[in-house]
Amino acid sequence: MPRVPGIAYVDGPRLRRAMLAACRQGRRVKAELNRINVFPVPDGDTGTNLALTLDAIASDLNGMRERRADRVAAAAARSAVLGARGNCGMMLSQFLLGFARGIDGRARVSPGEFGAAFVKGARSLDRSVERPVEGTILTVVRESATEAAGGGDSAGDLSRILVRTLDVARESLARTPDLLPVLSRAGVVDAGAKGFVEMIAGVVQLIEEGDDVEDAAATATSAAPGESEHPAWSPIAAADHTFGEGSRRYCTEILVEGPDLPGEEEVRARLSEGSEELLVIRADDILKIHLHTDEPRAAIDYCATLGTVAAHKAEDMYAQYEAARAAAGTVRRPVGVLVDSGSDLPEAVVRAHGIHMLPLLLLDGETTLKDRIDITSEDIQGRLREGGPLPTTSQPPPGDYIAAYEKAASDSEVVVAVFLAASLSGIYQSAENSARMVPHLDIRLVDSRAASILVGLLGLKAAELAEAGMPAAEIVEEVGRIRDQSGIMFTVRSLDRLMASGRVSQFAGWLGGVLDLKPVLGLAPGGTIKALGKARGTDRARALMLKLIEEEIPAGAREVRFGIVHVGAPEVVDPLRAELKARFDDPEIMVAPITPVLATHLGIGAWGIGYMVED
């Protein structure tokens, strides 16, 4: 056993560092987990799904300075639920929720309390699985928990307990093929279980060697160490069994938010018929559901009766399976999607679909801020209200584009990148130039001819088409078709910020302020800004915008989605949502704050509506 420093307790900072180390190591083995992913469906995405879940945890923990262990554990669990992807992500989330409940109320955790919480996490996971299968992550977590709680002669030293727990976890992992015939036939261990073992290994490595784990959250913009070392062959390509151990086609995940959500058992009972791999997690005001089904829309519609569906996705596992079997080397998704942070996509939607994001930049004096990472929508709203100096916007350098391309390409064979309109910014031109610098990557660029949430809606559509198995060339063509019949309109409370950025004249701004005239602006077919009308006061501006949108959407259009965005004006959301639902037969509506890089040009009180016509 390696010589390691003794650990008598875990507080918030120690637990946070341990979690970040676990996230980094779990991310590092992504390619290997994809390669050996043959159960329950041989679709080669366990590594990708686990990595995306760990990205969500690391992103939220990276800036945390909480001293209490229980609050760090609760934050990690909630982040895991919100960002959970696939069976492995859902199971990890359920374990972390149980662990967090096991140390609730404790600022510091003793080795014995840590072991007891580990057991509580394992039991929480066991209870959550409708049809448990041995030889999977369930077995490895349970046996690891028994060792963590036992402690033996190491009961007072958490470092020695974790080293012994890792040994037991590895032994348990090695036995998974003996318990699950499909693993034995493929000659592999369970992928999800291996991911969990690697996370423990990351914590032990931190204890034994020490490390700077802050770069665990950097996976949002770059590939993790070791990701470039792809294996040359996958047992998925040689699989001679039928499509997995199940038969349902769509891997469906739904995130529901609301104050009065039902319990896990009620939702599980409602969705169990006709589904497989059903997992339901309730964490305060959120529900996360994962299931394999042939009718994803029915599940989504049911969940919409429970609360607000913040995000959902339905991935065609047949298409994934065929792509994984055909892979000559590394098993990756056929098509991934990249957008810029000005797309205003809600974080829940980004995480649900595994969409990659290029952060745009703001310059605050001598400091460069990454949009949505170093500065949030709430931050910029506060600064706009204070009326002091504001950051200016700046294009990312070529290195940022290349890092984003490489990160997205580590998950996908082809990357479809949907960016802000070329007519509005130099971002698209820079994206083209940067793509030429990585000729070994297959990057397909789409000029959205749009801004804000309309870019996001188009990027979301690209992700959904990819999940349905559509080839990249057809996705680009279809997104272009939809783009040409969609639009966005917006208005501002004051023209001050638009005047400051040169978008309107000083005289027009002064006149608008005197008369309380609210401009309704939109995008011309080429993507340039055009004036659509003006109205006196907010209520009339809302009525005018809704009227104009209704005129733009073809009569009889059945597939229309909307996005509502605002800069510190949440009061506009409910009236707009109610009007849109009444006029367009209860459509899907996303709501998001406008990202800082756009908010600084529009000012406090600005809001807009994007609409995407898919017919």
Give the count of domains, the chain. Answer: 4
Exposure pattern of 151-188 as b/e (b: 16+ CB <10 Å)?
Answer: beebeebbbbbbbbbbebbbebbebbbeebebbeebeb
Dihedral of alpha carbons 464, 608, 572, 338, sign: positive
pLDDT of residue 224: 43
pLDDT of residue 517: 73
Query: Which domain, by its residues, includes 141?
Result: 12-220
Q: How far apart are CA 440 and CA 408, in angstroms?
A: 13
Q: 316 by DSSP, 3-state: which? A: strand
pLDDT of residue 230: 43
Task: For residue range 371-384, list pLDDT tens digits in order.
Answer: 999 999 999 999 99
Verify that 312 and 339 share a domain, yes or no.
no
pLDDT of residue 479: 98
Q: How far apart are CA 469 and CA 475, in angstroms?
A: 10
pLDDT of residue 154: 54
Verify that 306 and 365 share a domain, yes or no.
no
pLDDT of residue 153: 52
Of 535, 588, 3, 563, which is closest to residue 254 (Cα–Cα)?
Answer: 588
Question: Of 483, 510, 543, which one is at a domain's C-terminal end?
Answer: 483
pLDDT of residue 100: 98
Other Cβ atoms closer than 10 A to 83: 26
pLDDT of residue 597: 95
pLDDT of residue 501: 53
Report angle CA 67, 72, 78 to the nearest 5 degrees: 155
Verify that 474 and 538 share a domain, yes or no.
no
Q: Order of strands, edge to edge, in the sheet holding 412-419?
A: 356-358, 333-340, 412-419, 442-447
Task: For residue range 402-435, list pLDDT tens digits in order.
Answer: 999 999 998 899 999 999 999 888 999 999 999 9
Verify that 54 and 154 share a domain, yes or no.
yes
Other Cβ atoms closer than 10 A to 589: 18
Report the CATH number at residue 174.
1.25.40.340
Verify that 314 and 333 share a domain, yes or no.
no
pLDDT of residue 23: 97
- Reading the block at residue 548, the tokens are 């104009």
pLDDT of residue 211: 64
- Reading the block at residue 534, the tokens are 């003006």
- Identify whether 238 is part of a domain: no
Task: Please measure the distance between the N-terminal and C-terminal CA atoms of the chain and give it in whole angstroms.
Answer: 64
Q: 115 by DSSP, 3-state: which? A: helix
pLDDT of residue 503: 46
β-pairing verdict for 333-340 and 356-358: parallel
- The stretches in the chain having pLDDT less than 50 are 1-2, 213-230, 241, 244, 502-512, 514-515
Beta bridge partners of 544: none
Contact between 602 and 575 under an 8 Å Cβ cutoff? The reply is: no
pLDDT of residue 323: 79
Verify that 461 and 592 share a domain, yes or no.
no
Exposure pattern of 465-486 as b/e (b: 16+ CB <10 Å)?
Answer: bbbebbebeebbeebeebbeeb
Other Cβ atoms closer than 10 A to 259: 7
- Identify whether 356 is part of a domain: yes
- Reading the block at residue 35, the tokens are 């390669």
Report the CATH number at residue 276.
3.30.70
Report the CATH number at residue 377.
3.40.50.10170
